[in-house]
Amino acid sequence: MDVPQGLPIGPKESFHIVTSRKMDFNLDSLVTRKCTLNTSVDRAWLVEQVRIVEKLPFNIEELISVVDFVSGILKEDWLTIYPGGMLSLRTADKSLHGLYLFEHLIPLGCGLRLLENKPGFAVLLRKLNYPTYDRLSSLLEVFAAARYAASRYEVELEPGTPEGKHSDFRVRFNDEWIYFECKRINVRENKSVKRNLKFIDQLMNIVVTRFKEKIPNDYRIDIRLDRKPTSVEIETLFGDLEKMIIDGHYELWVEKEFGKYALTPRRNKEPSTGYPSSVTQITVGTTPTPLSLTQAPIRIFFNPLGSKIEQKFRAMLKQSKKQIPSGSRGILVIQGLNEEKASKIMQQQIGHPEYNNIIAGVGIENGAIAVRRDDQTDADMDFIGKCVSHSLFYGYDIGNT
Task: Tell me how far apart the terminal alpha carbons of the chain are, to the nearest angstrom.
Answer: 16
Q: Are 214 and 245 in contact (CB under 8 A)?
A: yes
- All structural domains of the chain with their residue ranges: 7-187+309-400, 191-283
- What's the mean pLDDT when you consider all of the chain? 82
| pLDDT for the residue numbered 174 | 94
Measured CA distances, 282 to 19, 203, 206, 293, 350 (Å): 26, 10, 10, 9, 40
Distance CA 154, CA 176 (A): 11
Q: Closest Cα partner for 98 from 305, 303, 287, 337? A: 287
Position 74 pLDDT exceeds 90: yes
| pLDDT for the residue numbered 184 | 93
Q: What is the pLDDT of residues 297-335, one digit of tens each?
A: 788 887 655 567 788 899 999 999 999 999 999 999 999
Q: What is the pLDDT of residues 175-231, one digit of tens each?
A: 999 999 999 988 665 566 667 777 888 888 888 889 888 888 888 898 988 788 999
Position 81 pLDDT exceeds 80: yes
Q: Are 37 and 19 in contact (CB under 8 A)?
A: no
Distance CA 18, CA 385 (A): 12
